[in-house]
């Protein structure tokens, strides 16, 4: 497995998103997925305090067990756990960290991520609290998620001299959702912040199992969607069909195209993909090996146009 950098952290180019743990899959299945990821050379594990109603962190911590030091462990805070636990005020930053450390069964978080901007808290105050956590040795690096280019610039301007700064931003990005191309990727290039895309398979639309004009198969993430809502995805399903044909023409799957296309962007450090089975982990781990050339990237743009201004 190839690696890239997030700040000082070396991470596998394919990471494991643990948002299914405690929700779509139980602890035994979660453990199988974690062990499969480790066996495939995945070293970057991403979770959050809200995933699985806080169970994701617990399941992940127990599954890693004695192999904890072999991985880069990322978790997120800031979205509402309950009415009292939310946001990014300094006191809550410290409380949320202690809660995550306890659930994960570890003494440090390698990458601690603010899950979303908090409009009620000055970013300088949040950054100062996170810097305290880094200086205390309980956090290695810090990052943010769901930030715009302007919010990234504001955060950079608010960092005190010598203090910890955001080393990555984690936003939704895929062949079917290209909003980061409207400023965020350019800001990452300018500032040296790593980009970590989530939902790389567009909630399953880029796995190849959903077809235009056909009902969603049972068991998938979109299978419970009302028929009229699924029908509203027709344009995206059509684009996915075109992309699948392109991938097949080049001897690859749609999933391999989706992951490799993201990794063709130099700003992208690691693609975090969720999984509910060991087989899905193995497919994800192998999917980033296609190195698309410039001509192929242009062909892809014609099939799934870039984001507008």
Mean pLDDT score of the chain: 94
Catalytic residue among 51, 92, 112, 210: 51
Residue 246 lies in a domain: no
* Of 162, 85, 57, 78, nearest in space to 121 by CA: 78
Task: Give the domain extent around 72.
Answer: 3-207+256-291
Cα(237)–Cα(87) distance, rounded to whole angstroms? 36
Residue 228 lies in a domain: no
Query: What does the DSSP assignment read for 52-117?
Result: GGGHHHHHHHHHHGGGGGGSEEEEEE-S-SBTTB-S--HHHHHHHHHHHHHHHT-S-EEEEEE-S-
Q: What is the pLDDT of residue 231?
A: 64
Q: Taking residues 58-80, what's their average pLDDT?
A: 97
Residue 208 CA: distances (Å) to CA of 194, 281, 298: 28, 16, 21
Q: What is the pLDDT of residue 308?
A: 66
Cα(184)–Cα(214) distance, rounded to whole angstroms? 35
Cα(234)–Cα(213) distance, rounded to whole angstroms? 8
Distance of CA 75 to the CA centre of its chain: 10
Locate 269 and state its tokens.
């450090």
Cβ–Cβ under 8 Å, residues 154 and 123 = yes
Burial 152-173 (b: 16+ CB within 10 A, else e): beebbebbeeebbbbbbbbbbb
Q: What is the pLDDT of residue 213?
A: 74
Domain holding 93: CATH number?
A: 3.20.20.100
> How many domains does the chain fold into?
1
Residue 270 lies in a domain: yes
The predicted model scores a pTM of 0.94
Q: What is the pLDDT of residue 309?
A: 64
Q: How confident is the model at residue 209 (pLDDT cuts 50, 70, 90)?
A: confident
Residue 36 lies in a domain: yes
Residue 178 lies in a domain: yes
Residue 215 lies in a domain: no
Residue 230 lies in a domain: no
Residue 274 lies in a domain: yes
Residue pLDDT, tens place only, 14-56: 999 999 999 999 999 999 999 999 999 999 999 999 999 999 9
Q: Is 51 a catalytic residue?
A: yes
Cα(241)–Cα(131) distance, rounded to whole angstroms? 46
- Classify 139 in phi/psi space as left (phi over 0), alpha (psi -120 to 50) or beta: beta
């Amino acid at each position: 497995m190839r690696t890239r950098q997030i700040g000082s952290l070396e991470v596998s180019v394919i990471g494991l998103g643990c948002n299914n743990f405690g929700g779509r899959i139980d602890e035994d299945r979660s453990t199988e997925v974690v062990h499969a990821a480790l066996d495939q050379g995945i070293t970057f594990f991403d979770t959050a305090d809200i995933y699985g109603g806080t169970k994701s962190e617990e399941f992940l911590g127990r599954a890693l067990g004695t192999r904890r030091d072999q991985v880069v462990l990322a978790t997120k805070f800031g979205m509402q756990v309950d009415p009292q636990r939310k946001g990014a005020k300094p006191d809550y930053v410290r409380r949320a960290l202690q809660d995550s450390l306890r659930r994960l069964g570890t003494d440090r978080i390698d990458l601690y991520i603010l899950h979303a901007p908090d409009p009620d808290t000055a970013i300088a105050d949040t950054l100062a609290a996170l810097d305290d956590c880094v200086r205390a040795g309980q956090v290695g690096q810090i990052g943010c998620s769901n930030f715009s280019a302007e919010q990234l610039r504001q955060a950079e301007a608010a960092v005190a001299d010598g203090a910890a700064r955001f080393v990555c931003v984690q936003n939704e990005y895929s062949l079917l959702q290209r909003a980061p191309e409207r400023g965020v990727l350019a800001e990452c290039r300018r500032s040296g912040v790593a980009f970590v895309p989530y939902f790389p398979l567009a909630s399953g639309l880029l796995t190849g199992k959903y077809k235009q004009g056909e009902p969603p198969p049972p068991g998938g993430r979109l299978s419970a969607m009302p028929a009229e809502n699924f029908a509203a995805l027709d344009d995206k399903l059509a684009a996915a069909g075109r992309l699948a044909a392109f991938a097949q023409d080049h001897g690859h799957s749609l999933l391999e195209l989706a992951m490799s296309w993201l990794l063709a962007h130099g700003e992208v450090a690691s693609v975090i993909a969720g999984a509910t089975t060991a087989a899905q982990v193995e497919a994800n781990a192998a999917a980033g090996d296609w190195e698309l050339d410039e001509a192929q990237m242009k062909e892809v743009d014609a099939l799934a146009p870039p984001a507008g201004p």
